[in-house]
Amino acid sequence: MTASSDNSVESKTSLSRLAPLEAVLFDIDGTLCDSDPLHHYAFREMLQEIGFNGGVPITEDFFVENIAGKHNDDIALILFPDDLQRGLKFVEDKEAMFRRLVGEQLKPVNGLYKLRKWIEDRGLKRAAVTNAPRANAELMVSILGLSDFFDTLIIGSDCEHAKPFPDPYLKALEVLKVSKDHTFIFEDSVSGISAGVAAGMPVVGLATRNPEHLLMEAQPAFLIKTYEDPKLWAALEELDKKGGAHTA
């Protein structure tokens, strides 16, 4: 019994069944860059300003549970259940504040450019898949110097359903013309991991901000702290040995 359970654990953390690899898909917020503190700051300041929650600033826990990784339409409904139009206007104003903050303070997750080189060297296709508004997504990708890296940018609002539904990741497969059996995903939120798993792909979860026990409930293949994590590079090396990638 122990041997077989060991094997199942081994296969859970392995990406080798994807060989030959065709594509890698990335979320943006919290996955390419640690932007959640900027989102939290903007929400906290603006909600406090309008007396939300009796003027008591929202906590990190409230942010993780109700905001992180969710689509703005859903956030508007959570924060302003009785006045959706006000909620939609609020999140729009909040995004403008976020874009002002992001220009000065956005930094890539450690090891991102090493991973970029690994992907480029193997000629893999790649897409950014996000619930963020297009203006935010394009700005962050540009600041990180990745505008030429991604073949396509898929926005949740452009799909019938945003994450946690699988639609944005399924659309990425369609646009890139690749198979879910030869593609994996990087994600940092419960919503995003759930979307990737529902789309039938293994998801490597980044524990940049969200609690590991919550991320694990969404069933990622495994979790890493940054792209320098030895666990990731062991999995990529194993993938290379098994048959590498479809080269362009």
Catalytic residue, candidates 29, 34, 36, 188: 29
Catalytic residue, candidates 6, 27, 158, 167: 27
- Terminal-to-terminal C-alpha distance of the chain: 43
Q: Which helix (H) or strand (E) holds 223?
A: strand 222-224
Q: How many Cβ atoms are within 10 Å of 102's Cβ, its own excluded?
A: 18
Contact predicate 19/242, CB 8 Å: yes
Catalytic status, residue 29: yes
Sheet holding 183-187, edge to edge: 152-155, 125-130, 23-26, 183-187, 203-206, 222-224
Catalytic status, residue 229: no
Taking the C-alpha atoms of residue 211 and residue 233, their distance in angstroms, rounded to an integer, is: 22
Q: How far is CA 35 from CA 137, 201, 233, in A?
A: 11, 25, 24
Q: Is the peptide bond before 164 cis (omega within 30 degrees of 0)?
A: yes
Catalytic residue list: 27, 29
